[in-house]
Amino acid sequence: MKFPSIGHSRLENGLELRVVTRKNYPIIELRLVLASGIASDGSEPGVAAVAGELLKAGGAGQWNAADLAERAESLGASLDVVTDRDSTRITMAVTTADLDAALDLIGAVAQQPRFAPVEFDKLKQRELERVRNAAKASAGWAASMVLYRELFDLPTAVHPYAHYDAKPSELAKLTLASCRRWYQANVTPGNATLVVAGDVDAATAEAAAKRVFARWKGAKPNTQSYNSPVPAESRTIWLVDRPHSAQSQIYVAGLGPERGTPDWPALAAVNQILGGGVAGRLFLDVREKRSLAYGTGSSLEEPARSPVPIVLSAGTQTAKTGLAVQALLENLDKIASAPPTDAEVGMASRSLSDAFLFRTETLGAVADLTVKLAILGLPDDYFDTYRTALRKLDNAAVYEAAQKYFKIKNPVLVVAGDAERIAKPLSHFAKVVVIDPEHDFQPGKTLPLDPTQNLEAAPLPAPAPAPAPAPVAPSAAPSPPPAAPK
């Protein structure tokens, strides 16, 4: 199987058009992709996500917010805006006959957003509630906030990828003017790609795009600075405090190569062997053999403009946190210290290659993969050459990638859990800095490295016995029942 061919063209205003023709069903998937996401926030964290959602939520063109949603529903579709690290996407899926009507909606959202003040206030309030709740209730969210900050640390500036999400204090500062500024700089044809996939030919798609977008104006925004992050000179454990939590979330991470590296197939295979599902070493060792985690694995993230984060993770009971950290570090060291087995390499390469077939099963998935090629700057035949390279992997190539990229001297260590119980056991590995997620993730108490500390957290103190009930005076004898009536 080959990935579908992609037709390329460009409008005079700079808008790129990518068309994938698949006439299996009378359906068309539309993606207007802006090459600006969370990384474009700059000094206003949260602005890309809020402004992106406001394009739709604030109404556009002739439609207010309610009318816009109703018009999309009348086409049997959903109009969605999705913001991730490197892009903002306006998406719809419609029947072939509704291509022009759908493009009218997407065109209005991109070119004529209303930015209604009342809708901005509602959206900002919802976002504030979301991040406040996440700071209290989500260990993964809280740990990720610190993980990205430390992974992408720069000594003289803030890296565009250093923000995982906006903090409540940062969202509170956002204004409607902030959203307008982001829109004017980033929502331009020079910064956009229109992906059209499905029951349509290239000429029809181009004619429809010209009708809607030919008058759209705007150049590509200025390129941001993506300086290389500076690796830590010593090991630190960042402990995000979640008082009385029964569980801990653990991340052990480092930075690998750029996403466009020719080593990517081998790198993906190493990750698959280490933590890719139920056949991965982390699952078999940390979860099954040692019973130290509810779930564990490893992942490779795919940023467009920086080294790739390599992240090992585990969710565990509070008492087992130190032991789980030790198990993750041991497996990270082992993957780069000895060659994998033939069986591991064979299973990893087959799994990654064959699973890709399922990723192209739906038209929406094909459209999303076409978007991925555009955002990452990869060639049209990338997925085909990637699968071929996977099937040719041998032990030597996989082991070389493991030694090159998984031998991380001082990985970033982030744990979200009950600091009162796990701070001392964690100091066995490194200095521990306690972070308060509900007060802007500010550092607090610091514990020095102490290798003599026991890895298991101290048990919870036994609850105090309940006081004995006070003696109760005997009650008077009950009155005899009344005599039966005569």
Please report whether residue 106 resides in a domain. Answer: yes
Q: What is the mean pLDDT of the chain?
A: 92
Residues 311 and 349 in one domain: yes
Please report whether residue 298 resides in a domain. Answer: yes
Percent share of the chain, pLDDT over 90: 85
Distance CA 183, CA 90 (A): 14
* Vertex 32 angle, CA 31 and 33, to 5°: 100
Distance CA 27, CA 420 (A): 56
pTM: 0.90
pLDDT of residue 480: 45
Q: Over range 100-117, report the average pLDDT.
A: 96
CATH of the domain at 131: 3.30.830.10
Residues 85 and 202 in one domain: yes
Residue 103 in tokens: 């493009």
Q: Over range 67-79, report the average pLDDT.
A: 94
- List the one residue out of 109, 113, 127 whose CA is nearest residue 49: 127
Q: Which of 319-333, 349-363, 459-473 has the lowest mean pLDDT?
A: 459-473
Residues 113 and 241 in one domain: no
Residues 301 and 161 in one domain: no
Q: Over range 61-81, report the average pLDDT.
A: 94
Residues 354 and 273 in one domain: yes
Residues 171 and 31 in one domain: yes
Q: Over range 83-87, report the average pLDDT.
A: 96
Whole-angstrom CA distances from 76 to 71, 89, 94, 166 are 9, 19, 7, 34
Q: Is the pLDDT of residue 486 over 80?
A: no
Residues 203 and 271 in one domain: no
Give the domain extent around 137.
Answer: 7-213
pLDDT of residue 484: 47
Please report whether residue 140 resides in a domain. Answer: yes
Q: Count of domains in the chain?
A: 2
Give every strand in the sheet of 192-198, ordered side by side. Answer: 7-10, 16-21, 192-198, 27-34, 88-95, 80-83
Q: Over range 137-165, report the average pLDDT.
A: 92
Distance CA 377, CA 400 (A): 26
Please report whether residue 308 resides in a domain. Answer: yes
Give the phi and the psi of residue 308 in degrees, each rounded to 5.
-85, 125
Residue type, 312: L
Please report whether residue 479 resides in a domain. Answer: no
Q: Is the pLDDT of residue 483 over 60?
A: no
Residue 449 in tokens: 């490295």
Please report whether residue 483 resides in a domain. Answer: no
What is the signed CA dihedral for 315, 295, 267, 279, rounded to 10 degrees? 160
- Residue 471: pLDDT band (50, 70, 90) is low
Residues 208 and 291 in one domain: no
- Residue 155: pLDDT band (50, 70, 90) is confident
Residues 365 and 426 in one domain: yes
Q: Is the pLDDT of residue 474 over 50?
A: no
pLDDT in tens, 208-239: 999 999 999 999 998 888 888 888 888 999 99
> What SS3 state is found at 19?
strand
pLDDT of residue 482: 47
* Vertex 483 angle, CA 479 and 486, to 5°: 170
> E strands along 127-245, which residues?
192-198, 236-241
Residue 65 gets which letter from DSSP? Answer: H
Q: Over range 346-360, report the average pLDDT.
A: 90
Q: Is the pLDDT of residue 459 over 80?
A: no
